[in-house]
Structure 1
Amino acid sequence: MDVVATAGHVDHGKSTLVRALTGMEPDRWAEERRRGLTIDLGFAWTTLDGGRTVAMVDVPGHERFVGNMLAGVGSVPAALVVVAADDGWSAQTAEHVAVLDALGVRHALLAVTKADVADPGPVLADAVARLAATSMGRVRGLPVAAPTGRGVPELAAALEELLAGLPAPDRSAPVRIWLDRAFTIRGAGTVVTGTLAAGSVAVGDRLVLGGREVTVRGMHALGEPVERAGATARVALALRGVAVEQVARGDALLTPGAFRATSELDVVLTSGDAGTLPAEPVLHVGSATVATRLRPLDAGAARLRLAAPLPLRVGDRVLLRDPGTRTVLGADVRDVDPPELRRRGSARLRGAELAGRAPGGAAAGAELARRRVVRAADFTAMGWPVPADATAVGPWLLAAGLVDELAARVPQVVTRYRQLRPLEPGPPAEVVRRALELPDVDLVPAVVRPPLALREGRVVAAEAALPPAVQRAVDGVRARLAEAPFAAPDANELAAAGLGPRELAAAVRDGQLLRIADGVHLAPGVEREARARLAALPQPFTLSQARQAWGTSRRVAVPLAEWLDARGVTERLPDTTRRLR
C-alpha cells in the first residue's frame, strides 16, 4: 500500500477529486459535507489500474484548521497538490506547499481542478514554476474536471507512476505510528489509526503507548482485517491494555525500547533563520503538536525545550511554526540528549558543531567519542547507528580507542593503591571503576591486561609480591611447614616473626599460606598430604588417630578435621568417627 496526502485550498475541489479517484467520501463529519469544507483529516483508498493500492489522506485547506493539516502530512511520503483553475495559487496553497517543503517532501503530483470552469493552462504553468523552487522540484501537472471525469484516468495513471518511484520503506525498522484518531468499537474496544511509515505490525505484537504496554488484538488496513501490515500503510489497530480516554491525537505507538522520550533536543534548520521564529514556537512532528521554547545557537542551529516529551530520534524532521505570522520552518533533529551549555561561547561552538555534521556513521563516531561510554540500547534508541570501530562490552559501547586508553591507566591506579596499602595485593575492581570513571564495574575486566589480572574481585599483578620483610617471614614459615606440614606455628611464634593479622591475610590472598581457622595457617597443598596420611588408617578412624597420623597437636587437628569435612574430603559419622569419602 502507498499513502499520499492531498493538499490545497478549501475551494479547490480536493474532496471532489478524492471522490472521483477513489469512489469514496473522505469527509467523515456531517458538518463537513453540509458546508463543503474539510475540517478534519479524511481518508479514502483505491486500487489503481496497474494494481497498486493507494490510501489518500485528505487534509483541511482552511487556515483555521492548519493544525489538523499538519497532523495529516507528517508521516506521508508523497503529496497530491490541488489548485483550482478558476482561483489559482492562494495563500492557503502557499502555506500547504511551505509545509511540504519544510518536511522535505520530494515526491509530488499537481492537479489543476475545475478545468471545465476556466482555462487550466496559466494556473498549471504558474503552479509548476512555484513548486519547482521547493523540495518537490519539477512536478508533473495535469488538468482535471472531477465532476465530469475529465482528466481523472490520466491523473490516476500519473499517480501510479509517482508511487512506483517512491523509495522502498524500511520494514525492518522499529515501529512509530503517530496516531491521528482514537475511538471505540463494540467488541474491539479501543481502536487507533495512523500511518505506518516504517517497520511492520502484526496481531499479537506488544507495543508501548504513553508509557504503558499494549497488545495489538486486531488490525484493519483499508477496511479489511489483516494479520500483518508492512510500511507504508494506513492501519487501524484494536488495542488491549489502554482505554480510549487515555489516547489523544499526537500520541505515538512504539516498538518497546526503540525510542527515547526527550524534552530537550538540538536541531539544525533546513532553511531560514532561527531568529525569524519567536521564543516560543509550536513544534509539529507526525500528528503531534507541542509548545516549545527556542534558544538560537549558531549557524542555523537551535536548542528546543518541549512542554511535553516526545519519542524523537536523530535524523527526524520536525516543523517549527510561528502561530502569529504562520511562518513554518523545517528542522532536522541532531541530538535528543544534548550536553549542557555552561561556558561563555559554548552555544556558538555547539551550533557550529551541529551544523558541521549530518546524521550518519561519522557523526555517530563523534557522538560516541563525546559520550565515551554508553549503553548500546540507549545509543541506538537515540537514532545513532553503532560505529564500526566502537568496542562492545556486554550491554555497553565504548568509543574507538577508549579501551586502550583506559588499559594504559590501570597500572598507575594499581601502583598508587599498593603504595598506600602495601599489604593488599591490589585495588578492588570498584576502586578501579571509580578511578577510570566507568559507569559499571563489569567494564573493568575489559581494561585489565597482563601483567595485571583480575583475581577474586581485585586487580593484581600476575605475580603479586609481598613487602620484602613480610615475604622473608612467610618464607620462614613455609620452610618450617615443608619439614612438618601440620606443625602450624602459634600466635606468639607468628607475631615474633612479624606476621600479624594483616600480614597473614596478605599472604593468604597471595596464595602463599592457607588459613584453616583463626590462628591456624598451613601451606598450600596440605589437603593432599592430609588425605594421603588418612588413607593409611583403618576406616573409620578417630580424631586421635588422625592427629597421630598428622603428627600435630589437638589445636591444629580439630580445625583441620572440620575443614576437611567442610570440603568433602572426609565424612563425620554419628559416633564422631570419620572416614574418607
Structure 2
Amino acid sequence: MTLADIYQRPLIIGTAGHIDHGKTTLTQRLTGVNTDRLPEERARGISIDLGFADFTLPSGQHAALIDVPGHERFIRNMVAGVHGMDAVMLVVAADEGIMPQTREHLDILTLLGVSRGLTVITKADTVEPEWLPIVEETVQEALRGSFLEQAPIVTVDSVSGRGLVDLLNALETVARTVPPRDATGFVRLPIDRVFSVRGFGTVITGTLVSGTLRPEDVLEVVPGDHSVRVRGLEVHGHKVDYAVAGQRVAVNLSGIDKDHVHRGQMLAAVGTVKSVDVIVVEVLLLASSPILEQRTRVHVHLGTAEAIGRVYWYDRESLEPGDTAFGEIRLESSIPAIRYDRFLIRSYSPVFTVGGGRVLEAGVHHKRKEAGLLGHLALVASGNTKAVVLEQLRACDAPCSIEKLAERAGYRVTEIETLCQDDPEIVYGPDRQVFWKPYLPDLISTVQHFLGEYHQDHPLRRGIGRERLRDSLWPKWSLRSVLFVVHYAENVVVEGEWVRLADFVPVVEGAWAQEIESVYQAIDASARKPLTVEQLIGMTSIHTERFFDIIDYLLSQKRLVRLEEGIYISTPVYIASRDIVIEALQERGALTTSELRDVLEANRRFAVLFLELLDALHITRRQGESRTLVS
C-alpha cells in the first residue's frame, strides 16, 4: 500500500444487526481479520466490543470497517462505533430474519444520522434456496420508510464466499455517494480505544471526524483538558505524515499517561471543544417508545461518550411517541460536545433506545419562560448559520468583538468571520468588531449631536477625552465599542486622546478672553510658588468647569506647563527656571535637590516637582541624591 492509496477519500463502513447473524464472520471474510480480539469474545463466540479492520474495494480504494457487537447488553459499545460510520451494512441472517436488535440497530443508525448503506442477508447456506426470496421480501417490508428502503439487498454465504463479489461491487457503488468530511476544520477525534506500546507510550484510536492531524501537533484531551503532543500517526497500520477527517487513526501521544485517557474523551484542537454537563437539544422520540416525562432520567450517548442525565422540556410536561421537542439534558457527568453533534437517548432502566437528536447548544442553560426561546432554537435547528448570527447581532446594543459574537451565536470564529466580512447587513470594523448595520446611523447621530453641544459649552477645549465621551454616552460599553461608532462618523475625528467634530476649532470669544488672561496672570504672578487649583478659583471667581477649560486651553497654547495635576506654572517661569538649573549644573557639576532648591530660591515642593519634570524631559539625570545634565 502506498501513501497515495491511504490518502484517497476516506471511507468507513460499519456493520449492524442482531447477535449471531454473522457480522464478524462477514467482516473476516471481507478483510481477512478476526475482529474479535478479546479472549472472552473468542471463548464465547460473540462480539463484546468494537472491532476494526481495513479492506480494499474493487476500485482499489481502501476502506476501514467497524464491526459492532449485536447483543443487547453491549449496545453502548455498538453506539460508540456508529458516529464514525459513513455507510453501514445491516446484516440479517437468512435463517432468522429481522430480529429485535436488527430493529434497534436500525433505529440507532437513523437517530445518529447514518443515511447510506445496504442490507446483507447472510447464512444463505442455512436455508433452502426457495426460502431466500421470502426472506428478502420480509426484509424489504421491515425496511420500508427507513434510509435503507431503496438500498441494495445482497445475499451472501460467508463460508463459501458466494455473493461476496456482488457485495463488494455494491459497497463500491455506495462509496461513490459518500461526501468527504471536513479536513479543514478543527481536529476532533472521539477516543474509542486506549493502550500502551512499550517504547512509545500512550496510543489512542478513533475516527477523525474533522480536521487534519500531523505529528508535533499540540492538542488537548477533553474532558480533563490535558495538553498533549502528537508523536506519531498510523492509518491502516501504516505510519503516515498526516491523517484527514474520515480516517481511522492510531495516535501516539506524549504528555499524558494511559491511565488518564479513556473511551468517551475526545482529542481536539486546543480551546475548540468544551466539556459540558448540560446540552440544549432537539429530541425525536421513537414511535415505539413510551411517553418521555419531564425530568425523566436517561442514558445519553454522544460520540464515544456516555452519561446519565435528566430531560427537561421547554414547552411541555411530556413528549409523546413520534414527536419532536426542544429541551435540555442536565448530565451527571461531563462530556465533550459541540453544536449539531448527534446523540442517542436510552431509558434508564430497563435500558432500551427511546430516541435521539441533535445538540443545539453546549454548556448553555435556559429558563422555560425565556422570551423568544423556542423561535431561537428553531432557527438554530434549521442550520441557517447566517440567520442565527444575524439574530444574535440584532440583540447586541453595542458593537462587539467577532469572538464575543461567535460565543453568543454558538459557532467558531472561523465559521462566521467571512460571513461577517461579506454580509451587507453587518459592519465589520476596527479591532475585528461587528455591528448590525441598521443600528449604526442612530449611534453616529448621537455622537455628532453630543459633540456639537459639547463644543458649544466648551469652546476652548480641543475636544472631549475618549474615556469621558464613553462615560457620557454609553458608560457600560467598552472604549473599543465607542471608538467603533466614532470611526464610522464621517465628520468626527480622533486626535490622540481627544475626539471632536472635524470642522471644530477652539475659539476665544466674549468673556472667555478676559477670564483666560485673569487665570494666566494669576499663575504667572505666583512664579515659583504655584497656587493650588482651589486658590486660583477663589482668586478669579471662575466656575470650576470653565476654569479647567481655560487651563486646558492655556496648556494647548503652550502658555502653561503642568508640574503635576492641579499645579501649573507659566511658560516664561518654566524657561527662566530651567536656564537657572542648567547654568548652575554647568558651572558647579552635580548638585543635590537642596542645593538646586537654593539656586532656584524656591520651596522644596516646587524644587522637587520642577526637577522631576526636567528629569522626565531628559534635561537632567538623577544619580543618587544628586543631578547632572544629560549630555
Q: Where on the TM-score scale, by shorter chain, does this alignment land: which range?
A: 0.7 to 0.9
Within the alignment, does 1:476 sit opposite 2:517 as a pair?
Answer: yes
Secondary structure of 2:366's counterpart equals coil
The farther-off stretch of 561-570 and 316-325 is 561-570
CA–CA separation in structure 2 for the residues paired with 1:109 and 1:411: 67
- Report percent identity of matched pairs: 28
CA–CA separation in structure 2 for the residues paired with 1:406 and 1:498: 38
Q: Note closer, same or farther for the CA distance 1:257–1:517 as it changes in structure 2 (3 Å cut).
A: closer
Secondary structure of 1:89's counterpart equals coil
Partner of 1:260: 274
Within the alignment, does 1:116 sit opposite 2:125 as a pair?
Answer: yes
Q: CA deviation at 1:56?
A: 0.7
Equivalences, count: 569
Q: Note closer, same or farther for the CA distance 1:7–1:577 as it changes in structure 2 (3 Å cut).
A: closer
Partner of 2:262: 248
Q: CA deviation at 1:428?
A: 6.3
Within the alignment, does 1:289 sit opposite 2:306 as a pair?
Answer: yes
Partner of 1:83: 92
CA–CA separation in structure 1 for the residues paired with 2:627 and 2:332: 78
**Which of these residues, 383, 388, 396, is aligned with residue 411 of structure 2?**
383
**Which of these residues, 367, 370, 387, is aligned with residue 341 of structure 1?**
367
Partner of 1:549: none
Secondary structure of 1:51's counterpart equals coil
Within the alignment, does 1:159 sit opposite 2:171 as a pair?
Answer: yes
Partner of 1:548: none
Task: Show CA shifts across 1:165-216 (max 9, x none).
Answer: 1001111011111111111111111111111122111111111102111011
The residue identity in structure 1 corresponding to 2:339 is V
CA–CA separation in structure 1 for the residues paired with 2:531 and 2:540: 11
Question: Unaligned 5+ residue runs, structure 2?
Answer: 1-9, 316-323, 421-425, 590-599
Q: CA deviation at 1:258?
A: 1.8
CA–CA separation in structure 2 for the residues paired with 1:434 and 1:22: 73
Within the alignment, does 1:212 sit opposite 2:226 as a pair?
Answer: yes
Partner of 1:142: 154
**Which of these residues, 459, 464, 481, is aligned with residue 443 of structure 1?**
481
**Which of these residues, 233, 244, 252, is aligned with residue 247 of structure 2?**
233
Within the alignment, does 1:308 sit opposite 2:336 as a pair?
Answer: no
CA–CA separation in structure 2 for the residues paired with 1:310 and 1:459: 49
Secondary structure of 2:205's counterpart equals strand
Partner of 1:326: 352
The residue identity in structure 1 corresponding to 2:386 is G
**Which of these residues, 448, 454, 467, is aligned with residue 429 of structure 1?**
467
Q: Note closer, same or farther for the CA distance 1:92–1:517 as it changes in structure 2 (3 Å cut).
A: closer
Within the alignment, does 1:366 sit opposite 2:413 as a pair?
Answer: no
Task: Show CA shifts across 1:282-305 (max 9, x none).
Answer: 211111111121111246211221
Q: Note closer, same or farther for the CA distance 1:532–1:327 as it changes in structure 2 (3 Å cut).
A: closer
Partner of 1:73: 82
CA–CA separation in structure 2 for the residues paired with 1:272 and 1:439: 48
The farther-off stretch of 125-134 and 196-205 is 125-134
Q: After superposition, where does 1:9-24 map in structure 2 within 5 Å?
A: 9-24=18-33
TM-score (norm 2): 0.76
CA–CA separation in structure 1 for the residues paired with 2:105 and 2:565: 85
CA–CA separation in structure 1 for the residues paired with 2:453 and 2:171: 73
CA–CA separation in structure 2 for the residues paired with 1:216 and 1:409: 54
Q: CA deviation at 1:265?
A: 2.5
Asked if the contact 1:7/1:82 (under 8 Å) is kept, the reply is yes
Q: CA deviation at 1:391?
A: 3.2
Within the alignment, does 1:131 sit opposite 2:132 as a pair?
Answer: no
Asked if the contact 1:470/1:503 (under 8 Å) is kept, the reply is no
Partner of 1:497: 540
Partner of 1:547: none
The residue identity in structure 1 corresponding to 2:107 is A
Partner of 1:277: 292
Asked if the contact 1:201/1:230 (under 8 Å) is kept, the reply is yes
Asked if the contact 2:195/2:202 (under 8 Å) is kept, the reply is yes
Q: CA deviation at 1:7?
A: 0.6
CA–CA separation in structure 2 for the residues paired with 1:420 and 1:412: 13
CA–CA separation in structure 2 for the residues paired with 1:525 and 1:156: 98
CA–CA separation in structure 1 for the residues paired with 2:453 and 2:299: 55
Question: Unaligned 5+ residue runs, structure 1?
Answer: 544-552
Q: Note closer, same or farther for the CA distance 1:239–1:300 as it changes in structure 2 (3 Å cut).
A: same
CA–CA separation in structure 2 for the residues paired with 1:454 and 1:99: 61
Q: Note closer, same or farther for the CA distance 1:422–1:214 as it changes in structure 2 (3 Å cut).
A: farther
The residue identity in structure 2 corresponding to 1:288 is A
Task: Show CA shifts across 1:238-282 (max 9, x none).
Answer: 111111111111111111122233322322224658983351222
Secondary structure of 1:49's counterpart equals coil
The residue identity in structure 2 corresponding to 1:277 is L
Asked if the contact 1:267/1:335 (under 8 Å) is kept, the reply is yes
Q: CA deviation at 1:520?
A: 6.4
CA–CA separation in structure 1 for the residues paired with 2:539 and 2:623: 39
Q: CA deviation at 1:227?
A: 2.3
Task: Show CA shifts across 1:86-124 (max 9, x none).
Answer: 110100000000001111211111111011222332222
TM-score (norm 1): 0.82
Q: Note closer, same or farther for the CA distance 1:256–1:573 as it changes in structure 2 (3 Å cut).
A: closer
